[in-house]
């Protein structure tokens, strides 16, 4: 009988080596009962999906006994109070390095003042002490690796290189290489930790408490304890604990933690607010509409925490590359050490030294650490701007997007409809047209229905629910209902054609709701919608980012769609579409893409979810978007500005550029110094600077992705 799979996350402690992380990941994925294991080295998190969690954890202890795994709480987004670990180890390492450095300087002075005479027992003891203080943990890891039958990682390379240097009496080089290697590791760890702290800063918006309103007064509880419908009081300066609706009070709220927008938002009764936003000026009474685990803040924390678990192809390639690269380097070094002396009469000591230089230069740290860190930084940078990218793999896809297809209503336009005009014909008055339309739309939740009802009620109109029977919604067409013994139809042009109802012209620049009573045309209602602020600029920025084709899909009429497309300068648009038509048209657009080119779709509604799922990268407008669209999407924009789509593409391209800069930097510098080392033009000093210098340059370059 097949066991059920469990998904858990663990905080990783005592893991300071990217290659070791790759080994653990590889070993876990070979274990029976493990469906998937992914280590996010930048976030120090193990994502484990297995039927036997205990067996998987035992395998981790077997591979790396020093590593500790602590369960992470899903309620807190995975960030535990003790996450910032290793400070004590860092201080201890610094102390050891300082002592080793003092001994190293003493040894150098002794060596040169003695004019290179053989060292005495005391000097040799100083050399060994400095070497062990600087490299004890490197040697320890190397021995563990060898005992497990795995002879190839950077620790083994360092042990062979420095041990060989000691054997040929290159004491200064042996100690110096180990000291500078450890300094490089510490600096590398500091850079990675800095990036992790930046990501934790994104999650610091999580509210700690909620002030629950009860018959006996206010009571402070955890946000997880708040139920739907509970009343919450939020004072100025406090974080909103759960998603909800403002019932009483007016205030400015800071939304920057969720949306990246610096301008405060004014809220008053009836406005929806989200967990993590900060109340600034006035007390608010809020009715909870979602549990905390379903809130926007909880989703953001989960998305940011889990994003790097979905690795990009480049990350996977480098992991595999490093697995084969290191054994190749060891064989190449052995060839350099043995072949010239055996076949060309060279000095063993000279060629062994060159081989040791080759080993030091060839460590793959720069690639293995900096590339995941680059993606990690890109995801963090996007999150700061209110753009949630659900995986490193989607950064690569976004960077390759050449065609962007937008939904219209709620995506490019505000989706806030206002009745602009009412036209009546065939003996009906404007008031009658509005009454019949309001009655037919009374039980509909479509935005157009809401605008008609609001306009009717503002003029004093009232509809009795008892007068309405037989209401039916026709998706993508309109509604029908029976009202006061009349059969009412309200819908678009296609719906009237389908019902064979003769009516007026079809060419309107706005959304139009046609009204028919008892099969006879009564008139139409013109409903206006406006472009979102920044929509025009978004199209310009997208084109500057390399987007070659921008299109729009909408269920609105041809003329209204054409007016929007003209204002935005779109390359194409498709109107009068049913939800199933959107998928068909989208597939047609996608079939014209070239090799390696990707297509994105941006939408916000439930009817957009199927198209979002079909896109190479589906993008949902998060603040107004439906849950279905957000769950299906690969990227979620926390504000409803189309400019965020342009920013998402820019962040992806910037991140991708940094990743390839690191790859090029590592290969070029290492290639040059490997050639120099083999020809005897580089000593072990140059080797360690080439190795750790390249790693540090790549790591610090990766942090640029976080800064933008």
Alpha helix ranges (H) inside 148-274: 154-167, 171-203, 256-259
Helices and strands, counts by H and E, the chain: 22, 26
Supply the DSSP symbol for 307. G
Alpha helix ranges (H) inside 204-275: 256-259
- CA-to-CA distance for 40 and 18, rounded, in angstroms? 10
The DSSP annotation for 312-353 comes to -HHHHHHHHHHHHHHHHHHHHHHHHHHHHHHHH---HHHHHH
The answer to whether 409 and 447 are in contact (CB under 8 A) is yes
The DSSP annotation for 684-701 comes to HHHHHHHHHHHHHHHHHH
Supply the DSSP symbol for 602. E
Instruction: Identify the three-state secondary structure at position 205.
Output: coil
The answer to whether 444 and 479 are in contact (CB under 8 A) is yes
- Residue 411 CB neighbour total at 10 angstroms: 29
- CA-to-CA distance for 645 and 651, rounded, in angstroms? 10
For β-strands 635-637 and 617-621, DSSP reports them as parallel
Q: Which helix (H) or strand (E) holds 481?
A: strand 478-483
> Active site includes 407?
yes
- CA-to-CA distance for 418 and 434, rounded, in angstroms? 13
How far are the Cα atoms of 405, 429, 502, 557 from residue 424, in angstroms, in the given order? 37, 6, 14, 20
SS (H, E, C) 20-79: HHHHHHHHHHCCCCEEEEEEECCCCEEEEEECCHHHHHHHHHHHCCCCEEEECCHHHCCC
CB burial readout 281-304, b (16+ within 10 A) else e: eeebbbbbebbbeebbbbbbbbbb
Alpha-carbon dihedral sign for residues 181, 184, 190, 196: negative
Which one from 407, 556, 608, 640 is the annotated catalytic residue?
Answer: 407
In the beta sheet, which residues pair with residue 232? 212, 286
Instruction: Identify the three-state secondary structure at position 474.
Output: strand
Instruction: Identify the three-state secondary structure at position 443.
Output: coil
Tokens of 522: 């009564």
Supply the DSSP symbol for 413. B
For the chain, the 3-state helix, strand and coil shares in percent, each to the nearest 5, are 50, 20, 30
- CA-to-CA distance for 253 and 476, rounded, in angstroms? 37
Active site residue ranges: 407
């Amino acid at each position: 009988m097949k066991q059920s799979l469990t998904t858990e996350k663990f905080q990783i402690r005592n893991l300071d080596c990217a290659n070791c992380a790759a080994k653990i990941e590889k070993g876990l994925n070979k274990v029976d009962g493990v469906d998937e294991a992914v280590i996010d080295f930048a976030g120090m998190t193990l994502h484990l999906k297995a039927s036997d969690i205990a067996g998987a954890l035992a395998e981790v202890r077997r591979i790396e006994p020093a590593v500790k795994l602590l369960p992470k709480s899903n309620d807190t987004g995975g960030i535990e109070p003790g996450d910032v670990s290793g400070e004590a180890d860092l201080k201890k390492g610094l102390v050891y390095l300082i002592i080793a450095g003092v001994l190293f300087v003493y040894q150098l002075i002794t060596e040169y003042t003695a004019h290179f005479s053989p060292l005495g027992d005391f000097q040799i003891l100083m050399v060994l002490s400095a070497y062990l203080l600087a490299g004890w943990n490197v040697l320890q890891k190397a021995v563990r690796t060898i005992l497990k039958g795995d002879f190839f990682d950077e620790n083994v390379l360092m042990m062979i290189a420095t041990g060989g240097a000691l054997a040929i009496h290159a004491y200064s080089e042996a100690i110096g290489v180990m000291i500078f290697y450890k300094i490089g590791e510490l600096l590398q760890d500091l850079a990675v930790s800095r990036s992790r702290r930046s990501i934790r800063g994104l999650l610091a918006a999580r509210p700690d408490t909620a002030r629950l309103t009860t018959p006996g007064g206010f009571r402070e509880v955890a946000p997880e304890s708040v139920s739907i419908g509970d009343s919450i009081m939020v004072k100025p300066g406090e974080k909103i604990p759960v998603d909800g609706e403002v019932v009483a009070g007016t205030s400015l709220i800071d939304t920057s933690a969720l949306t990246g927008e610096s301008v405060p938002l004014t809220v008053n009764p009836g406005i929806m607010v989200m967990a993590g936003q900060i109340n600034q000026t006035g007390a608010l009474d809020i009715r909870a509409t979602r549990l905390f685990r379903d809130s926007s803040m909880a989703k953001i924390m989960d998305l940011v925490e889990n994003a790097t678990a979905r690795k990009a192809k480049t990350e996977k390639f480098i992991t595999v590359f490093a697995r084969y690269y290191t054994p190749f380097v060891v064989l190449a070094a052995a060839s350099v050490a043995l072949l010239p002396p055996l076949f060309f009469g060279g000095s063993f000591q000279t060629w062994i030294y060159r081989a040791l230089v080759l080993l030091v230069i060839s460590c793959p740290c720069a690639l293995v650490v900096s590339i995941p860190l680059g993606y990690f930084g890109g995801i963090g940078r996007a999150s700061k701007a209110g753009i949630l990218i659900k995986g490193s793999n989607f950064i690569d896809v976004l960077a390759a997007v050449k065609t962007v297809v937008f939904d219209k209503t709620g995506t490019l336009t505000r989706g806030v409809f206002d009745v602009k005009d009412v036209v009546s014909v065939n003996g009906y008055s404007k008031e009658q047209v509005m009454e019949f339309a309001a009655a037919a739309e009374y039980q509909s939740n479509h935005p157009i229905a809401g605008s008609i009802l609001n306009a009717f009620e503002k003029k004093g109109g009232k509809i009795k629910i008892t007068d309405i029977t037989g209401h039916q919604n026709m998706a993508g067409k309109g509604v029908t209902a029976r009202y006061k013994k009349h059969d009412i139809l309200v819908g678009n042009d296609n719906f009237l054609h389908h019902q064979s109802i003769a009516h007026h012209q079809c060419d309107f620049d706005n959304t139009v709701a046609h009204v028919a009573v008892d099969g006879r045309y009564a008139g139409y209602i013109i409903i206006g919608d406006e472009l979102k602020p920044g929509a025009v600029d978004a199209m310009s920025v997208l084109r500057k980012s390399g987007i070659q084709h921008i299109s729009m899909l909408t269920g609105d009429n041809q003329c209204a769609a054409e007016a929007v497309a003209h204002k935005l300068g779109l390359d194409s648009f498709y109107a009068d579409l049913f939800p199933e038509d959107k998928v068909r048209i989208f597939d047609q657009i996608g079939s014209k893409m070239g090799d390696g080119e990707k297509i994105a779709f941006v939408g916000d509604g439930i009817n957009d979810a199927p198209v979002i799922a079909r896109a190479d990268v589906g993008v949902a407008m998060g603040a107004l978007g439906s849950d279905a669209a957000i769950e299906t999407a690969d990227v979620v924009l926390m504000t409803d500005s189309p400019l965020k789509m342009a920013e998402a593409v820019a962040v992806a391209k910037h991140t991708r550029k940094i990743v390839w800069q690191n790859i090029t930097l590592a290969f070029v510098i290492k290639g040059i110094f490997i050639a120099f080392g083999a020809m005897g033009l580089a000593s072990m000093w140059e080797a360690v600077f080439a190795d750790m210098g390249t790693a540090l340059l790549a790591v610090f370059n990766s942090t640029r992705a976080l800064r933008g």
